[in-house]
A and B are shown apart, each in its own frame.
Chain A
Amino acid sequence: MSVVLVAIFAVPLLVCAALFVGAAVASRRGEIPTRGWGRLAGWISSAGALTSLVLAVTALLSYRAGVDVSVSAVWFHVGDLEVPFSLRLDGLQAVMAVVVAAVAFLVHLYSVGYMHGDRDVSVYFAELSLFTAAMLLLVLSSNFFLLYVAWELVGASSYLLISFYFERPAAAAAGKKAFLTTRVGDLGLLIALFAIVWQTGSLDYDAVFAWAATPGFQGAWAVAIPLLVFAGAVGKSAQFPLHVWLPDAMEGPTPVSALIHAATMVAAGVYLVARAYPLFEAAPVSLDVVAYIGAFTALMSATVAVTQSDIKKVLAYSTISQLGFMMAALGAGAPEAGVFHLFTHAWFKALLFLGAGSVIHATGRQTVQELGGLVRTMPVTAWTFAVGGLALAGIPPFAGFWSKEEVLGSLLAHQPVLAAALLVASFLTAVYIGRLFFLVFLGGPRLAGDVRARGHESPWVMALPLLVLATASLVSGFFGAGFLGQRLQHFLSIGAAGAEPPGTPAWFTALAIAVGVAGLGAAWLGYGRSSQRAGEALGFDIQLRSTLGRAYGVVERAYLVNEFYGRMVVGPLVAAGRFLWLGVDGRVIDRAVDGLARVVPGLGGLVRRVQSGEVRDYLAAVAFGVIFLVALALGGLR
């Protein structure tokens, strides 16, 4: 039984290895990858992901039945430290594993259709499988070391996938940016792990959390360790101030964006905070930091999302915002609510991204100014997108409503100010997703003359995942709503408290629904009947731009955080690099080497004159040498 947990992540890993080896062999033989082979690779890796999903569900069921499925073996020793290779399953990990495997499978399936025209898709599927395997290992690990290994694997494979179209400079730069930005946070996590090993001598979750519960867990470390762990989560989950990589990550293929945003990369940060929750509970200050950063990020990126014109950028900022919701819930002492939101968000955000991918695939365009009226040509995409949008906007009975209400309720009980901020963010959420839907799918085609821009429905491999995810976006909220027996939140069993969260007052729930409906209504008023011509700005954007003036531009450019980093971090680093290159290397080191190269021949020229080639000169040297030696010997004798 215990082999199940290993198999869950090992299957996609083996698929990845097989596809990489296949691609390498084919490329060595000089064979050009054909479409048929790419499709086969897609099916193989989809089958791998499906196997993972089946195994994850099996593991979840056996965990519910009370079977112990944990695996533990000694991996290696370093000094006194014994690093185990241990996997386990608890409620949180089981749910995460199922979500990751399910979304990964659907994305694999979708990619078979989406990537069919691309070159080396077998490499793409290998990387996708690696990503899935890394994320599954991350959620199944039972110690921080293995978690960190998987954490870095997730980072590396996200780099590979974001820069999959590496011949485009923007894509290559985006991959690098994602890797380096998350690296900043990873460093914090790494330091936290060093501190944990130093203080406890163990990396096992249970041992570390037991230590966190003791009175000895106090002082500077007790605050620093959770904050450093949170730094890692900030990087991976794209929270302010390390959120800048995520909008750029849209350069990758759209299914990858769906996977990154729904289940793998960004979920890792939220999972980490929820996993290490006992550490945070021991230091309430760190929880406040988590809550404030989460709420700030949620509000900030929601405003940015309203102004974006690229479909994927809107969804990217939406993801950052929703992750902020999750972090805020975690920080407000309701980790179950945060993970519940992660759970529902995974379905509807994957759905929205895959819907956007379907639009991009069909039309070859991705800015709202160029699209419109697609509901007629792409009904499946449009209506599933609508389901995802309603879930995101928090309209009952869709999934997002239940989890968002839980998040807001927990914040109301602990941090009323942040609850108000998140209400505003929810309003903006409804506005931007309504705007996106109305502009892309309603109205008429804005590029009337362009046949391709009218779109066409996607093939069944792409439509099927959309339908499955739409169903999940509809029903996944019920798992937390309590009328399906055991509530998901209890099943997760995070933290020590485990108490029933205080019920949300009815007026607040009504307010949250009203805010969502108001947002959608505002979006309908602003963008529902927008003009049908292609232009710079549409509907209410025109009024917003003229009223806000320069402020609108600042928001549109995401509060100039990128520009700030460019000037304050990248600029000085590049300047320092140029100084070291031209100044130190060019002026000092190169000249020293050149100088040495000139001195040696000069000295050689001097010494060369001694070797005249005249026998008599040598003879004279010998004669005088003998005289000298004899004189020396005689002097010595005397």
Chain B
Amino acid sequence: MTTPALVLSSVLFAIGVFGVLTRRNAITLLVSVEIMMNAANINLVAFSRVHEPAAMTGQVFALLGIGIAACEAAVGLALILAVRRRFGGTDVQSIDLLKG
């Protein structure tokens, strides 16, 4: 019953990992991380339906996660904005001040 949802979440997670590993643009990275998070949320909802549907714990948890993701996106975008001002772009490889 949950298999399609799990497959969907796996695919989304893989897409997110792929995005994080291959892209250099900070905004794309943020988007990829959000995708991975949503894959997790899908899992939460899917498993909640199987184990204790009446309690709706998974759904509540997913909503909470989405809320936190919004905050996270705000903070992340603020950071990216600061990075862009400081380094003149959003390429993560250019942020190398600590590299010896």
| B96→A616 contact, CB < 8 A | no
Determine if B17 is an interface residue (Cβ-Cβ < 8 Å): yes
A447 to B99, CA, bound (A): 87
A616 to B17, CA, bound (A): 10
| A616→B99 contact, CB < 8 A | no
CB interface residues, A 583-630, toward B, < 8 Å: 613-616, 619-620, 623
A399 to B92, CA, bound (A): 109
Q: Bits for B71-93, please: 1 = Cβ < 8 Å to A, else 0.
A: 00000000000000000000011
Which of A614, A619, A620 is the one whose CB lies under 8 Å from B93? A614
A616 to B20, CA, bound (A): 7
| A619→B96 contact, CB < 8 A | no
Contacts of A623 in B (CB 8 A): 17, 21
CB interface residues, B 46-100, toward A, < 8 Å: 92-93, 96, 99-100
A614 to B21, CA, bound (A): 11
Which of A613, A619, A620 is the one whose CB lies under 8 Å from B99? A613
| Distance from B8 Cβ to chain A, minimum over Cβ atoms (Å) | 19
Category for how many chain B residues contact A = under 10
| A620→B96 contact, CB < 8 A | no
Contacts of A615 in B (CB 8 A): 92
Closest chain B residue, CB of each to CB of A616: B21
Contacts of B92 in A (CB 8 A): 615-616
Contacts of A613 in B (CB 8 A): 96, 99-100
Contacts of A614 in B (CB 8 A): 93
A93 to B92, CA, bound (A): 98
A615 to B96, CA, bound (A): 10
| Distance from A617 Cβ to chain B, minimum over Cβ atoms (Å) | 9
User: What does DSSP make chain A's interface, helix, strand, loop or mixed?
Assistant: helix
Contacts of B20 in A (CB 8 A): 616, 619
User: What does DSSP make chain B's interface, helix, strand, loop or mixed?
Assistant: helix
Q: Which of A614, A615, A616, A620 has the most CB of B within 10 A?
A: A616
A616 to B96, CA, bound (A): 13
| Distance from B46 Cβ to chain A, minimum over Cβ atoms (Å) | 19
A613 to B21, CA, bound (A): 14
Contacts of A619 in B (CB 8 A): 20-21
Closest chain B residue, CB of each to CB of A612: B99
Closest chain A residue, CB of each to CB of B29: A616
A619 to B22, CA, bound (A): 11
Closest chain A residue, CB of each to CB of B99: A613
Q: Bits for B14-50, please: 1 = Cβ < 8 Å to A, else 0.
A: 0001001100000000000000000000000000000
| Distance from A628 Cβ to chain B, minimum over Cβ atoms (Å) | 14
| Distance from A95 Cβ to chain B, minimum over Cβ atoms (Å) | 86
Q: Which of B21, B93, B99, B100 has the most CB of A within 10 A?
A: B21
| Distance from B97 Cβ to chain A, minimum over Cβ atoms (Å) | 11
A492 to B100, CA, bound (A): 90
A619 to B100, CA, bound (A): 20
Closest chain A residue, CB of each to CB of B20: A619
Closest chain A residue, CB of each to CB of B96: A613
| Distance from B51 Cβ to chain A, minimum over Cβ atoms (Å) | 21
A619 to B17, CA, bound (A): 9
A614 to B98, CA, bound (A): 11
Contacts of B96 in A (CB 8 A): 613
Contacts of A620 in B (CB 8 A): 21
A614 to B20, CA, bound (A): 12
A614 to B100, CA, bound (A): 12
Closest chain B residue, CB of each to CB of A620: B21
A616 to B100, CA, bound (A): 17
Contacts of A616 in B (CB 8 A): 20-21, 92
Closest chain A residue, CB of each to CB of B18: A623
Closest chain B residue, CB of each to CB of A615: B92
A615 to B26, CA, bound (A): 13
Q: Which of B17, B93, B99 has the most CB of A within 10 A?
A: B17
Closest chain B residue, CB of each to CB of A623: B17
A39 to B93, CA, bound (A): 87
Closest chain B residue, CB of each to CB of A613: B99
Contacts of B21 in A (CB 8 A): 616, 619-620, 623
A499 to B25, CA, bound (A): 119
Closest chain A residue, CB of each to CB of B24: A616
Contacts of B100 in A (CB 8 A): 613
Contacts of B99 in A (CB 8 A): 613
Closest chain A residue, CB of each to CB of B23: A616
A613 to B94, CA, bound (A): 12
A620 to B99, CA, bound (A): 19
CB interface residues, A 422-453, toward B, < 8 Å: none
Closest chain B residue, CB of each to CB of A627: B17
A613 to B98, CA, bound (A): 9
| Distance from A150 Cβ to chain B, minimum over Cβ atoms (Å) | 69
A374 to B96, CA, bound (A): 97
| Distance from B92 Cβ to chain A, minimum over Cβ atoms (Å) | 8
A614 to B96, CA, bound (A): 9
| Distance from A578 Cβ to chain B, minimum over Cβ atoms (Å) | 48
Closest chain B residue, CB of each to CB of A614: B93
| Distance from A235 Cβ to chain B, minimum over Cβ atoms (Å) | 68
A291 to B92, CA, bound (A): 100
Contacts of B17 in A (CB 8 A): 623
A616 to B23, CA, bound (A): 9
A623 to B22, CA, bound (A): 13
A623 to B21, CA, bound (A): 9
Contacts of B93 in A (CB 8 A): 614
A281 to B17, CA, bound (A): 102
Closest chain B residue, CB of each to CB of A626: B17
A335 to B84, CA, bound (A): 110
A364 to B26, CA, bound (A): 97
A616 to B21, CA, bound (A): 6
Interface of A with B (CB < 8 Å)?
Answer: 613-616, 619-620, 623
Interface of B with A (CB < 8 Å)?
Answer: 17, 20-21, 92-93, 96, 99-100
Give 13 CB contacts A-B under 8 Å: A613-B96, A613-B99, A613-B100, A614-B93, A615-B92, A616-B20, A616-B21, A616-B92, A619-B20, A619-B21, A620-B21, A623-B17, A623-B21
Taking A613-B96, A623-B17 as known contacts, 11 extra A-B pairs with beta carbons closer than 8 A to each other, sorted by chain A number, are A613-B99, A613-B100, A614-B93, A615-B92, A616-B20, A616-B21, A616-B92, A619-B20, A619-B21, A620-B21, A623-B21
**Closest CB pairs A-B (n = 3):** A613-B99, A620-B21, A623-B17
